[in-house]
Amino acid sequence: MKKNPMTFVRRARLALGGFAVASVLALSAMTPAHATFEAGVQAYLNGQYTQALDIWRRFAVAGDVRSKKILGDVYSGKSLEGARSAATPLEAIPVDNVQALVWYSLAAHHDFSTYQTPSAEEVNARILAEQRLPEIRARMSTSNVAKAEKLVAQTFEAGSAYDLYRLGDMYQKGAGIAKNNTKALQMYTLAQARGVGEASAACL
């Protein structure tokens, strides 16, 4: 997804499914400036699960596909090999299929168009997230899938003009969210009004 600092707080509120804006702002202040995705992995392996989640959420909201994918992993109940703690990962991070589907969906539809050259790890993260979508959907109720899809749609709607175009494409194809041609046209029209040339052809 294209990075847009003006929508940081809105994306955080929507994508994280109800976390208060104040929590996100506090997270920005508390997370060390040198923190990275890898620092989150190390914190997780050391049993510092809250710190790991804080780091990954920050980077996921900022547009890191690896962080989006790994949040899907931990919320779906997958553990990183080598983790150690008095509390097991599943005790510290309870399975939350709605959050898992949200993060996997955001990772699977991550936009690399603004990258000069995405790394192999970034490309692999998107591929793996897409592959895990059917598995996570299969274990969820229809209502919970709809709840997750709504959060995904809200996240894209709060993004850039090109995010709106991509959301229209998702609605049109039924990819990541339920197929809805009316919604697709609405998103294409909004994207076109904000200068996305590709949306003009899609509106025809």
C-alpha torsion 71→119→109→67, nearest 10: 10
Q: Which is higher by pLDDT, 190 or 114?
A: 190
Residue 193 has pLDDT above 60, yes or no: yes
Q: Residues 142-185: pLDDT tens digits?
A: 999 999 999 999 988 888 888 888 888 888 888 888 899 999 88
pLDDT mean over 58-68: 93
Which DSSP state fits 176? S
Residue 161: the pLDDT is 83
Contact 100, 76 (CB under 8 A): yes
Alpha-carbon gap, residue 10 to 7, rounded angstroms: 5
Asked whether the beta carbons of 164 and 190 are under 8 A apart, the reply is: yes
**Percent of residues, the chain, with pLDDT higher than 70:** 76
* pLDDT-based confidence at residue 194 (cuts at 50, 70, 90): confident
> Helix, strand or coil for residue 76?
coil
What are the extents of the domains in the chain? 5-143, 160-204
User: To 5 degrees, how large is the angle CA 22–CA 109–CA 64?
Assistant: 50
Q: For residue 4, what pLDDT is reported?
A: 45
Res 23: pLDDT:
34
What is the rounded CA–CA span in Å between residue 176 and residue 196? 21
From CA 92, how far away is CA 45, in angstroms rounded?
13
Q: What kind and span of H or E run contains 147?
A: helix 142-157
